[in-house]
């Protein structure tokens, strides 16, 4: 049986009351404001040099960046255009806003690094140096870095730059370091192959 | 924007602290766009922590220098002048050219002053003939030159009895030099001396224990409570004064790495903002000036009782910004800084002890393993990761 207008209105009532809450409204506005910026940032990144493109293609870091957000959105985003789903979305806006504000500084950090040619050059050179010792050892017989690496190995602590940074407790550092890790991985790839 | 004479916030100094605070203020409050000025005459900005590795010949000094103009955040006025005097009662400052600017809130972030002139003969000899220092962009390459050309004899490393920026830097370069001398085969016919105005190798016991072992392993001769007072460049002799007996000791050198005495910048010392010691007198937790409530201080120029480092500033900046905005918006919720500071103590090429501690000299570590151990991973952190985090994270107000 078809619903009457009255039925529709009463269905809408809980949504309207949710929407009338200040917190919900603020979150909605913030989310809408932030979205174009985030989309822009994504596309700017995509337009960027191949180096950065590969970072975005790096499954691990994209998952890391979007993992939390997707998990949450996956639960709530309206799959069909139903009122319930829309309500759930609105209801959870404060949560999304929280995630967006978490993602934003990382995006900015990555974007800033990706536009910063000096940093990229520095990272690239560093990664080459890190990948270098084995080759040098063969060539020179004696290598300082190689020896230092061996010494560090003795203490059984994680010695690769990548695994260790994962362990940094502070979340902000951890998030950003993940990108640096990815950048380094990519940068050192040609050398490792 | 630069034509204004009245700003909501004036930041004196656009170094590590000044730029970080400016970027964070704008991030937190877009309404401040166009209402903040940074006053700093310097055209260049330096990532100084890498100077240790420049002196050690590992990093090119060029990567430590950037144009200040590329770092001033959009929406912030940069006034390219030196501040000469503070008038906190009338909420204004005066620059060297006589320009008077007013503010609602003032942030003092002018760094530390290097007193080259306080060691007789140093200004004339620095950068030449084995007299070197990592404490200046202009001379840092002379350190690597001295280390590389050293072919035995006396290598001296000094540390003054004044506060310095990065208390660990005077010894880091010594450990690298020892490592290099071993590599180049001159270590067996040389002596390494560490002359320090301090009473021990490091203020935090946990790390001091490790460092004392490093010193023993490397066979370095330590002379505590000794201050460098004069350099006779012609005779290649350095004169030290014992802080306990006032006795003068003259030692000949083949190379000497000098860490000069440092103090609060003169224009701060002579201002109403200074404590008796000359540093900006701030509350150690809120970073707010003890007498002038609308003035804040951050970084090397303050009397915060912690080691003066960029890492400390990374933790001070968010607290300062929150507290300043609370006051500006008449809100409650002042935050507290716990004195966190960090010193990545390079102990050789490829090894580092990452010291992190707070006001109580209690280790306050970021990694879930014993950071007192020398590690390659921590060396890589310093060399590869921290510079990127600095330029793209910290100075952008993001991390
Ligand atoms: C060799 C060396 C190694 C170091 N190693 C480390 C390390 O490993 N880890 C670490 O965290 N830190 C390290 N540091 C310390 C770190 O670099 C400083 O603590 C940090 O840069 C201090 O920041 P700041 O903003 O207080 O001062 P600065 O960054 O020095 O900036 C001060 C600014 O104030 C400006 N200024 C000065 N006078 C005036 C005036 N009259 N008017 C207007 N502006 C003025 C200057 O031009 C400058 O731009 C090291 C430093 C050195 C030299």
CA B380 from chain centre, in angstroms, equals 21
Residue matched to tokens 């909501």: B8
Residue B177: inside a domain, yes or no? yes
| Pairing assessment for the beta strands B237-242 and B153-159 based on DSSP bridges | unpaired
Quick check: is B326 catalytic?
A: no
For residue A92, the model assigns a pLDDT of 54
Domain that holds residue B155: 116-262
Instruction: Tell whether B285 and B178 lie within a shared domain.
Output: no
pLDDT tens readout for residues B174-184: 999 999 999 99
In a domain, A106, yes or no: no
Name the catalytic one among B132, B166, B301, B326.
B166
Q: Is residue A131 part of a domain?
A: no
Touching check for B30 and chain A: CB below 8 Å? no
B194 vs B201: CA distance, rounded Å:
9
Residue ending a domain, among B280, B304, B332, is B332
Q: Does the residue A162 lie in any domain?
A: yes
Q: Do A149 and B376 touch (CB under 8 A)?
A: yes
ipTM here: 0.71
* Model pLDDT for residues B250-306, shown as the tens digit of each residue: 999 999 999 999 999 999 999 999 999 999 999 999 999 999 999 999 999 999 999
**Tokens coding B363:** 């280790």
The predicted pLDDT at position B1 comes to 63
Report which of B28, B349, B216 is spatially closest to residue A148, judged by C-alpha positions.
B349
pLDDT at B350: 83
Q: Are residues B121 and B258 in the same domain?
A: yes
Whether residue A187 is contained in a domain is answered as: yes
Nearest to B40 by CA among B1, B96, B86: B96
Candidate from A116, A148, A168 with C-beta closest to B376? A148
Q: Kindly indicate the confidence band of residue A28, based on its pLDDT and cuts at 50, 70 and 90.
A: low
Is B383 contained in some domain?
Answer: no
Is A70 part of a structural domain of the chain?
yes
* Domain final residue pick, A52, A77, A102: A77
B121 and B169 inside one domain: yes
Centre of ligand 1 to C-alpha A155, Å, is: 34
pLDDT tens for each residue of B12-46: 999 999 999 999 999 999 899 999 999 999 999 99
Whether B341 maps to a domain, the answer reads no
Total domains, chain B: 2
The answer to whether residues B211 and B175 belong to one domain is yes
A121 found inside a domain: no
Query: Structural domain tally of chain A?
Result: 2
Residue A67 lies in a domain: yes
Could you report the per-residue pLDDT of A51-104, keeping only the tens digit for each?
A: 333 333 434 443 433 433 333 333 333 333 334 444 454 555 555 555 555 556
Taken in order A105, B61, B136, B212, the sign of the CA dihedral is: positive
CA of B309 to the centre of ligand 1 (A): 8
Mean of pLDDT values over A174-183:
46
H-only helix segments in chain B: 16-28, 51-55, 122-125, 140-149, 169-184, 205-218, 266-269, 310-328, 376-380, 386-388
Q: Is residue A95 part of a domain?
A: no
Residue A178 domain boundaries: 158-193
How confident is residue B152, by pLDDT bands cut at 50, 70 and 90? very high
Q: Which residues of B touch A147 (CB under 8 A)?
A: 350
B166 is catalytic: yes
pLDDT in tens, A97-154: 555 555 566 667 777 776 778 877 777 676 666 555 434 433 343 344 444 444 444 4
Q: Which residues form ligand 1's pocket by a CB distance below 6 Å?
A: B 12-18, 39-42, 48-49, 51-52, 82-83, 109-111, 134-135, 165-166, 169, 265, 267, 299-301, 308-311, 313, 342, 344
Instruction: Return the residue of A nearest to B350 by Cα.
Output: A148
**Range of A35-39, A40-44, B284-288, B386-390 with top mean pLDDT:** B284-288
Looking at the predicted structure, is the pLDDT value of residue A169 above 70? Answer: no
Inside any domain, residue B60: yes
Of the three residues A23, A54, A77, the one that is the final residue of a domain is A77
Answer yes or no: do A123 and B366 touch at CB < 8 A. no
Residues of B in contact with A113 (CB under 8 A): 388, 392
pLDDT digits (tens, 9 = 90+) for B78-119: 999 999 999 999 999 999 999 999 999 999 999 999 999 999
> From the CA of B343, how far away is ligand 1's center (Å)?
14
Residue B294 lies in a domain: yes
A15, pLDDT greater than 70: no
State whether B292 and B252 are in the same domain.
no
pTM: 0.78
């Amino acid at each position: 049986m078809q619903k009457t207008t009255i039925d529709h209105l009463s269905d809408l009532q809980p949504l309207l009351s949710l929407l009338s809450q200040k917190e919900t409204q603020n979150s909605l506005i913030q989310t809408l404001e932030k979205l174009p910026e985030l989309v822009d940032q994504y596309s700017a990144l995509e337009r960027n040099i191949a180096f950065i493109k590969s970072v975005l293609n790096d499954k691990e870091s994209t998952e890391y960046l979007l993992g939390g957000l997707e998990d949450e959105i996956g639960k709530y985003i309206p799959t069909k255009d139903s009122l319930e789903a829309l309500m759930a979305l609105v209801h959870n806006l404060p949560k999304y806003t929280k995630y967006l504000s978490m993602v934003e500084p990382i995006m900015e950090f990555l974007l800033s690094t990706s536009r910063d040619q000096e940093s990229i050059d520095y990272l690239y050179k560093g990664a080459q140096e890190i990948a270098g010792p084995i080759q040098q050892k063969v060539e020179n017989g004696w290598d300082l870095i190689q020896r230092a690496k061996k010494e560090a190995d003795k203490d059984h602590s994680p010695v690769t730059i990548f695994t260790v940074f994962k362990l940094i407790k502070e979340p902000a550092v951890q998030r950003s370091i993940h990108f640096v890790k990815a950048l380094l991985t990519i940068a050192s790839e040609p050398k490792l192959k | 924007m630069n034509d204004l004479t009245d700003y909501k916030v004036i930041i004196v100094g656009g170094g590590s602290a000044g730029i970080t605070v400016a970027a964070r203020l704008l991030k937190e409050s877009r309404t401040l766009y166009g209402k903040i000025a940074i006053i700093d005459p310097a055209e260049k900005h330096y990532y100084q922590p890498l100077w240790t590795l420049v002196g050690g010949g590992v990093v090119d000094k060029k990567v430590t220098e950037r144009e200040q103009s590329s770092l001033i955040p959009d929406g912030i006025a940069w006034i390219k002048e030196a501040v000469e005097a503070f008038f906190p009662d009338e909420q204004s400052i005066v620059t060297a050219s006589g320009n008077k600017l007013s503010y609602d809130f003032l942030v003092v972030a002018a760094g530390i002053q290097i007193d080259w002139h306080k060691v007789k003969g140093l200004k004339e000899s620095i950068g030449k003939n084995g007299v070197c220092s990592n404490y200046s962009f202009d001379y840092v390459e002379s350190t690597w030159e001295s280390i590389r050309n050293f072919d035995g004899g006396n290598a001296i490393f000094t540390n003054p009895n004044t506060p310095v920026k990065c208390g660990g830097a005077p010894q880091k370069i010594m450990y690298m030099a020892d490592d290099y001398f071993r590599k180049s085969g001159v270590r067996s016919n040389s002596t390494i001396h560490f002359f320090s105005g301090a009473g021990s190798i490091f203020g935090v016991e946990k790390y001091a224990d490790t460092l004392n072992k490093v010193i023993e392993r490397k066979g370095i001769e330590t002379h505590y409570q000794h201050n460098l007072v004069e350099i006779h460049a012609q005779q290649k002799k350095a004169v030290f004064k014992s802080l306990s007996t006032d006795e003068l000791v003259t030692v000949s050198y083949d190379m000497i790495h000098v860490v000069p005495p440092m103090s609060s910048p003169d224009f701060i010392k002579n201002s109403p903002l200074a404590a008796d010691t000359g540093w900006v007198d701030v509350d150690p937790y809120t970073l707010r000036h003890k007498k002038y409530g609308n003035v804040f201080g951050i970084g090397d120029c303050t009397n915060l009782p912690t080691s003066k480092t960029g890492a400390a500033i990374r933790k001070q900046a968010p607290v300062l910004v929150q507290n300043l905005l609370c006051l500006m918006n008449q809100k409650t919720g002042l935050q507290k800084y716990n004195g966190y500071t960090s010193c990545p103590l390079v102990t050789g090429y490829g090894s580092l002890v990452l010291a992190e501690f707070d006001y109580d000299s209690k280790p306050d570590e970021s990694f879930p393993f014993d950071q007192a151990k020398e590690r390659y991973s921590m060396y890589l952190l310093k060399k590869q990761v921290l510079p990127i985090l600095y330029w793209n994270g910290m100075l952008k107000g993001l991390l």
